Chain A
Amino acid sequence: MPEIDTSTSLTPLHPAIESYIPLGRSGLLPALHAAQKVYGWLSEEVAAEIARTFHVPLADVHGVIEFYSLFYNEPIGKRIIRVCTDPACALKDADGLLNHFCSHHGLEPGQTTRDRTLTIEASPCLGLCELAPAALVNDEAETNINLQTDSYDLGRPPSMVYGPIRLLTFNCGDGTTSLAKYGEYAALQKARGMKREDVINEIKASGLVGRGGAAFPTGVKWEGAFKAEGNPKYVVCNADESEPGTFKDRILLLDDPHRTIEGMCIAAYAIGANKGYIYLRGEYPYILPVLENALREARGAGYLNEDFDIEIRLGAGAYICGEETALFESIEGKRGFPRVKPPFPTTHGLFGKPTVINNVETLCNVPLIVSKGAAEYRKIGTEKSPGPKLFCVSGDVAKPGLYEIPFGVTLRELLDMAGGVANKRKLQAVLFGGAAGAFATLDHLDVKMTFEDLRAAGLPLGSGVVMVFDETRDMRDVLKRLGHFFAHESCGKCYPCQMGTQRQKEILDRIAAGKMLEGDLERLQDVGWTMTDASLCGLGQTAASAVLSAIKLWPELFKEEGGRVKDEERGEKKEVRGKKIVAKAKAVKAKVKTQNAKKRTTKTVKSKTPSKKTKSDKSKPGSKKKTARKPAKKR
């Protein structure tokens, strides 16, 4: 293929973005995606042309490109490999995998080969945790990568679905369920035969609460939007699943898209909406054709029509867009900054109109409730936590996968279902609820997994993450990765989170490296509590949650390495140890010297991509990635 010279040829741009022009500013993200598909990246000329076409200020377009990790304003490779380095993948040596890929091609993470055939990046969680280690290769998932046997799966990620009940996952585990197999939207037809208020009351009576992490009563949300003044009204499906360790929505959408669509149709009928959006995370590009096809099928069958139709919006790499108001901003073609609440989405949501926004799993419960009736539905689970629940089990377990269980099963029972800790090792910890969650230990094994029991135990259910760490794992490394995740994903709006996630990352880096400074524990706690208490949105409010829980559980992890306390206890050993450290340091120094010498010789070859941003030039893969993300500071 000949290289397209973007400085002269804007001809292929217009046919690619034409269909989005009527959307106005809201068409900006789709247009940027389309343009990037054509050119591989977004040059100044292309961005300017898009700005003119959509009547969006130039600086705004640039601001949007800069916000999203998956938009590039510098040329990248035709093939781009994004290797997940977040905790679940890290347990399966994601770092080794990334290094392997990089050294094989003579690249550093974030760099592109000179012939622009390949870019390799470290990536935040890709939602492929049960198939770790994993990568995203252009639009395909590369999973179960094994360097020893040189084996991997490429393409649509396999779905590993288990559990004693299969209500939400009835159609999951065996490829995409077509409309013919899913059957008619019986629950929707039943709902349409009911009064809108009665549908809402049924959802309220079912006790369904949001499954995305915030656990807000779904029926109350619907009622709010139903009663709200304003037209039009919207139903939005939050499929921006990006909580590290979470992959349930990926499986639900890939294997059974009609369940979500039917749930949205019922919600639309109940509140009187005539437009719906599915906001799909950018790291799930392989779900896009599946969803598009399902929407076509639903239109063909008349379930979607001029009274209610659904549009898909693809995110572009921003965890914050899972926050409902940031998601609205993103659909509206802006940077994904969360809004101040109140007002709430039910009255001032998408485009400032009354909106119901529900998570994929929440919507999948809706047809079930409507067809069974709330009373029957409540027989599943416990009285205060009715219904089925999906758990995303990953990490050091024998059988990682998606588990559907009724609320009330204990953590021990769930782990037993998953075959227990892998390699006959002992359990050290479970990260519960995701990066924004908290750690559980052996003491929590018999806690029943319900909202009420977990709350009492100080554990958040979050998005249903159960990430298992065996006794050999270095929890400091896990914390470090969580720190990097939040620093990378903070939107930068409010001060506590914008600076707090950075300071937290720096301290956790020191702790992981055994270079803790005096007072770091207090700093970590002050930063953590400030983020928790004072941040503007849920991201900042939970960015220290896992760290603070670790401080409580394992205070010994946060003692200065070889610090005064330990050395005094050790007494004589101190000197011996000291000598060893000195010897080790000398050896390391010598090694670094030879490495540096080697680097110098290769530098001339590699330095084609000048690293402009001095800030990012500080070696950590995380920050390197950022260099790649925002190369625009060139000129």
Chain B
Amino acid sequence: MAENITLTIDGKQVSVEAGTTLLKAAEQIGVEIPTICFHEATTANALCRICVVEVEGQRLLQPACILKAGADMKVRTRSEKVVRARRTILEMLASTMDLSDAPEILTMMDEYGANADRFPQAERRESEVKDDNPMYIRDYSKCLLCWRCVQVCAEDAQYTYAINFEGRGYETQIGTFFDRPIPETTCVLCGQCVGVCPTGALKPKREYLLEQGVSPAEISVMNTGRKRRAADKRG
């Protein structure tokens, strides 16, 4: 029997089952907490920190996606500290990567009054589109390192382990073993990574081609996929 816990979120009392996260507790009373890296299907890592909230008595802001509701907790989801952190994170994202395919984050930026040009002369993470397999392209200029692709490729879903991280810190990038093209890795083209990508960094090849102005008719006769590989093998 799960016991119930009562806490206060933005002045409103809410009663939830023990073990409920602050994110879910807030949802129950219609308080929306923004998230970026969080996804229902993947292990929450609390790394984007956009969901941070202020919990009375805690010096640091707390990630709502993983923090469990506690009895009598007093939570503020839009305090000055919270808003500064969210706005600054969004501004830093805009100065780091290409958000053009991430409408949810652009909406968030509007909501928090985040200025996309807040950080002039910032070194951006730029990278060429990797078009090395028939099913999807990888455009890491659009990657915000939510880790979901790596997670679904590993224990969260597929146990394929085709991708991991390169570099460290700001220069981290998702990559394959020694940057091998996808067909040379353990990738099984299951497409789950594409499915969980929030920013269009991973995109179905056909969608990408359409965006490039290639017509559906042209795409349908293109030598991709198995045919192409078979052709390559024949030389």
Contact = CB atoms under 8 A, between A and B. Distances in A.
B178 A47 contact: yes
B11 interface: no
Interface centre among B118, B161, B178, B186 (most CB of A within 10 A): B178
B75 interface: no
B164 A63 contact: yes
B169 A635 contact: no
A529 B84 contact: yes
B135 interface: no
A495 B170 contact: no
Interface in A456-508: 487-496, 498-503, 506
B202 to A, nearest CB: 15
B166 A506 contact: no
Interface stretch (A105-113, A532-540, A573-581): A532-540
A492 B172 CA distance: 6
A340 B66 contact: yes
Nearest to B166: A66
A493 B144 CA distance: 11
Contacts of A335: 165
B145 A498 contact: yes
B82 to A, nearest CB: 8
Contacts of A501: 169-170
B22 to A, nearest CB: 14
B166 A534 contact: no
Contacts of A491: 168-169
Interface in A398-416: none
Given A62-B175, A533-B61, A503 B47 contact: no
A530 interface: yes
Nearest to A488: B169
Contacts of B77: none
A536 B145 CA distance: 15
Contacts of A492: 145, 165, 167-172
Contacts of B123: 502, 506, 615, 618
Interface in B194-225: none
A517 B93 contact: no
B35 interface: no
Contacts of A66: 165-168, 175
Interface string B170-191: 1110011111100001100000
B17 interface: no
Interface stretch (A53-61, A75-83, A192-200, A560-568): A53-61
B177 A58 contact: yes
Contact of B84 (A58, A498, A530): A530
Contacts of A495: 36, 47-50, 89, 92-93, 144-145
Contacts of A629: 167
B126 interface: yes
A67 interface: yes
Contacts of B167: 66, 492, 626, 629-630
Which range holds the interface residue count of chain B?
A: 35 or more
Contacts of B48: 494-495
Contacts of B66: 340
B92 A503 contact: yes
A536 B81 CA distance: 16
Given A526-B84, A615-B126, A506 B121 contact: yes
A154 interface: no
A159 B108 CA distance: 55
A615 B120 CA distance: 16
Contact of B60 (A58, A503, A533, A634): A533
A534 B95 contact: no
Contacts of B119: 503, 506, 523
Interface in B138-179: 144-145, 154, 161-172, 175-179
B122 A63 contact: no
B46 interface: yes
B8 interface: no
Contacts of B162: 59
Contact of A496 (B85, B96, B120, B145): B85
Given A67-B168, A494-B47, A533-B85, A61 B177 contact: yes
A187 interface: no
Contacts of A529: 81, 84-85, 88
B50 A59 contact: no
B99 interface: no
A527 interface: yes
6 contacts: A59-B162, A63-B164, A502-B169, A530-B88, A534-B52, A630-B171
Interface of B: 36, 45-50, 52, 60-61, 63, 66, 81, 84-85, 87-89, 91-93, 95-96, 118-123, 125-126, 144-145, 154, 161-172, 175-180, 185-186
